[in-house]
Amino acid sequence: MKGGVKFVLRKNTFIDVCLELSKDAAIVIIGKNCLRTQRIWREEIVKKVNCSVYRVESDVVVPTDVVSKNRYIMPIFIERGYK
């Protein structure tokens, strides 16, 4: 285990697992995704955890905030085959 980071696999809802794993956490880092379901998950997690929550870009080469201030711009580009 290089760097001391463990891989954890749990079978439950995303929110329940995140809350369980964040009980003793100093911060929670989650992916920034524009899909409705994942936005709802993030909102629930932010309401329920007792620490700071940070979102990071993980699915793009250029962060969407650099390309546009419109938070829905990247899914539109992907659907239309934008290059």
Question: What distances in angstroms separate CA 44 from CA 8, 15, 72, one per listed residue?
Answer: 21, 7, 20
Question: How far is it, in rounded angstroms, from Cα 23 to Cα 68?
Answer: 35
For the cut 90, the answer to whether the pLDDT of residue 12 exceeds it is yes
The model's pTM is: 0.58
Q: Where are the domains of the chain?
A: 11-79
Strands 52-56 and 27-31: parallel
CA 70, chain centre distance (Å): 18
Residue 57's contacts (CB-CB under 8 Å, 6 or more residues apart) are 31, 32, 63, 64
* Residue found by looking up tokens 């936005």 in the block: 39
**What was the pLDDT predicted at 5?**
77
Q: What is the pLDDT of residue 81?
A: 46
- The 10s digit of each residue's pLDDT in 13-61 is 989 999 998 999 999 888 887 788 888 988 899 999 989 988 887 766 6
